[in-house]
């Protein structure tokens, strides 16, 4: 049992260990989710995302570090001697509400269920959404919840003066030895006489001003406004504790931007924070802001400034590069990924990149090999050629992707060889490379489809068709015409063309946009397999701007 006043004896320090960081993240997720009910409609996407974030963080903290015991102080929550939550604003502070109602310790056990965590969130949200409520206090609500996986330690009868400030002031005035002089009841009377009423003329607001006002309040302008607010706040602070509050506000803005996956404004936010903090604080703040979710949103945004991202990450701590590599492994090709490759090339160098390649999983190998190509392209191409001829190499897909970027005559045999690889991902990458080989790839891809369509999955068949159309749209249309001409119809009026070959045709016609391709899509959609019909209808509807109809 924590005794009253014991919190004053604890020598606390800001969370700095993995346990402290995980706990702080979990508690902050709980506080944000509880407070969101007073800011948003419960059905809002923001509320759902915050609840999911709360669940993920608290389950992660319990799974990695075991039971989570939180000592409740007036404005802080501590785990051991580490401060894992601090908020001095009483209206926003979760710790103040807990302490005010008598809670002195909360312990989350690893066995706690999601139903109990959700019930705890409901209890906290009740105390956040009202002002001077008359319902039960937190201790009563927590005890009524009858938690099995959450232990509560509380004291009885704690009623601070702040709950009834007027009465407290009156009592202190009676006890005070200083005489109190009340002003006369009519000290501000008589009221001044009103002047003559004035009519307020109505004036039309120019359309230009209305358009500017509408632009300021537009939904897509909110992100830019939030970033400007962070910039203005950072320009006004100088003390270290004020900078911590500014970074905490920036983290809240980041969470808001993540709801809409607003990659460009997330990048702007990180740049504003980096520019507004001293070098010593910059790296720590960036490591906090650019977590995996934010980094993924930035890397997957098609409109992110790649050069700006590279310049920003150059200011980040060294461990951020590993995080970047982990997130970039799932990112699509684009300007942001190109910037990441260039950054890794400068930060790690060709020798380090080659060493890491041999020990990296396949999804990271693609990024590392691309970075090596930025640092030393001949060396990367030689390594890619070697990996392609090493059976079972985890670099094979990445190597084929690099070799297939601009395949010359010497690369085509390697790509053709890997069309028959046991790994379907390798086969797909080889097909894409042959698609970029132009006329040299057409007979190889068409022959591959003719011979192996029976073994194709739906995805592989469509990829082969798209590669064929990339190599030559005219050749792809001609190939589909030949397949259709060689196929009759069965008694049900369906094509006798094998289903795998039908999917190759769908992929080819999707890539080859022409009147002939549309006509062939209609033919396939009329007598092809059921799934092929549906896909052809979707493609034709998309091209005409309509909606597919069954």
Tens of pLDDT along 264-294? 888 888 888 888 888 777 777 887 887 777 8
Residue ranges per structural domain of the chain = 6-160, 424-550
Contact 263, 221 (CB under 8 A): no
Contact 235, 255 (CB under 8 A): no
Residues 513-538 have pLDDT tens digits of 888 888 888 888 888 888 888 888 88
First to last CA, the chain: 67
How far is residue 526's CA from residue 200's CA, in Å, rounded to a whole number?
70
pTM: 0.47
DSSP letters, 86-104, are E---TTT-HHHHHHHTTEE
**With 80 as the cut, is the pLDDT of residue 87 above it?**
yes
How far is residue 377's CA from residue 298's CA, in Å, rounded to a whole number?
27
In the numeric block, which tokens belong to residue 382? 């030689």
Other Cβ atoms within 10 Å of 137 Cβ, number: 17
How far is residue 165's CA from residue 170's CA, in Å, rounded to a whole number?
9
Task: Quickly state the pLDDT bin for 311 (edges 50, 70, 90).
Answer: confident
**With 60 as the cut, is the pLDDT of residue 549 above it?**
no
Q: Where are the alpha helices (DSSP H) in 263-361?
A: 263-276, 279-289, 292-299, 306-313, 319-328, 335-359
pLDDT of residue 66: 92
Task: Quickly state the pLDDT bin for 77 (edges 50, 70, 90).
Answer: very high
Task: Quickly state the pLDDT bin for 150 (edges 50, 70, 90).
Answer: very high
Identify the residue whose tokens are 């309040």. Answer: 217
Contact 483, 520 (CB under 8 A): no
Contact 372, 383 (CB under 8 A): yes
Contact 267, 309 (CB under 8 A): yes
Residues 6+ apart with CB under 8 A from 197: none
More confidently predicted of 379 and 362: 379
Q: State how far Cα 268 lies from the chain centre.
A: 15
More confidently predicted of 315 and 458: 458
How far is residue 175's CA from residue 179's CA, in Å, rounded to a whole number?
10
Q: Phi then psi for 180, rounded to 5 degrees?
A: -110, 125
Residues 107-148 have pLDDT tens digits of 999 999 999 998 888 888 775 554 444 556 778 888 888 899
**With 80 as the cut, is the pLDDT of residue 13 above it?**
no
Contact 547, 541 (CB under 8 A): yes
Task: Quickly state the pLDDT bin for 196 (edges 50, 70, 90).
Answer: confident
Query: What mean pLDDT comes out for the span 502-506?
Result: 90
pLDDT of residue 109: 94
Say if strands 82-86 and 13-14 run parallel, antiparallel, or are unpaired. parallel
Say if strands 103-108 and 68-72 run parallel, antiparallel, or are unpaired. antiparallel
Write down the number of H helices and E strands in the chain. 26, 6
Residues 322-341 have pLDDT tens digits of 777 777 777 667 776 777 77
């Amino acid at each position: 049992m924590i005794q009253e006043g014991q919190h004053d004896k604890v020598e606390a320090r800001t969370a700095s260990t993995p346990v402290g960081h995980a706990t702080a993240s979990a508690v902050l997720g709980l506080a944000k989710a509880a407070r969101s009910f007073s800011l948003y409609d419960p059905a809002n996407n923001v509320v759902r995302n915050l609840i999911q974030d709360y669940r993920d963080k608290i389950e992660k903290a319990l799974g990695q570090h075991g039971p989570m015991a939180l000592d409740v102080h007036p404005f802080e929550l501590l785990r051991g001697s580490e401060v894992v939550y601090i908020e001095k604003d009483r209206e926003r502070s979760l710790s103040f509400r807990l302490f005010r109602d008598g809670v002195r310790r909360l312990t989350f056990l690893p066995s706690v269920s999601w139903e109990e965590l959700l019930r705890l969130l409901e209890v906290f949200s009740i105390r956040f959404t009202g002002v001077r409520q008359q319902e039960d206090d937190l201790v009563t609500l927590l005890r009524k919840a009858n938690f099995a996986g959450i232990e509560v330690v509380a004291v009885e009868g704690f009623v601070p003066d702040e709950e009834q400030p007027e009465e407290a002031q009156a009592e202190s005035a009676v006890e005070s030895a200083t005489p109190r002089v009340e002003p006369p009841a009519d000290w501000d009377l008589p009221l001044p006489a009103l002047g003559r009423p004035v009519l307020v003329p109505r004036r039309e607001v120019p359309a230009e001003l209305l358009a500017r006002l509408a632009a300021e309040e537009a939904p897509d302008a909110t992100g830019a406004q939030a970033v400007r607010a962070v910039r203005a706040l950072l320009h006004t602070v100088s003390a270290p504790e004020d900078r911590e509050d500014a970074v905490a506000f920036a983290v809240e803005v980041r969470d808001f931007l993540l709801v809409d996956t607003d990659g460009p404004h997330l990048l702007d936010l990180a740049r504003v924070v980096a520019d507004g903090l001293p070098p010593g604080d910059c790296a720590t703040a960036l490591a906090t802001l650019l977590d995996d979710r934010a980094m993924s949103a930035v890397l997957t945004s098609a409109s992110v400034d790649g050069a700006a991202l590279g310049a920003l990450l150059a200011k980040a701590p060294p461990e951020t590069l590993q995080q970047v590599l982990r997130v970039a492994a799932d990112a699509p090709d684009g300007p942001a990924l190109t910037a990441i490759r260039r950054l890794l090339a400068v930060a790690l160098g060709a020798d380090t990149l080659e060493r890491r390649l041999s020990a990296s999983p396949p999804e990271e190998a693609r990024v590392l090999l691309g970075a090596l190509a930025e640092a030393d392209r001949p060396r990367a191409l030689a390594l890619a050629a070697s990996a392609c001829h090493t059976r079972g190499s985890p670099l094979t897909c990445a190597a084929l992707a690099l070799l297939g970027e601009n395949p010359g005559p010497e690369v085509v045999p390697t790509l053709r060889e890997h069309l028959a690889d046991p790994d379907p991902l390798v086969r797909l990458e080889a097909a894409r490379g042959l698609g970029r080989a132009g006329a040299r790839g057409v007979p190889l891809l068409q022959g591959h489809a003719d011979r192996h369509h029976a073994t194709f999955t739906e995805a592989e068949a469509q990829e082969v068709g798209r590669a064929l159309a990339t190599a030559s749209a005219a050749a792809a249309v001609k190939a589909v015409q030949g397949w259709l001409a060689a196929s009759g119809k069965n008694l049900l009026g369906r094509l006798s063309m094998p289903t795998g070959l039908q999917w190759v045709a769908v992929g080819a016609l999707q890539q080859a946009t022409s009147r002939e391709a549309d006509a062939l899509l209609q033919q396939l959609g009329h007598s092809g397999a059921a799934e092929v019909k549906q896909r052809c209808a979707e493609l034709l509807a998309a091209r005409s701007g309509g909606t597919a109809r069954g």
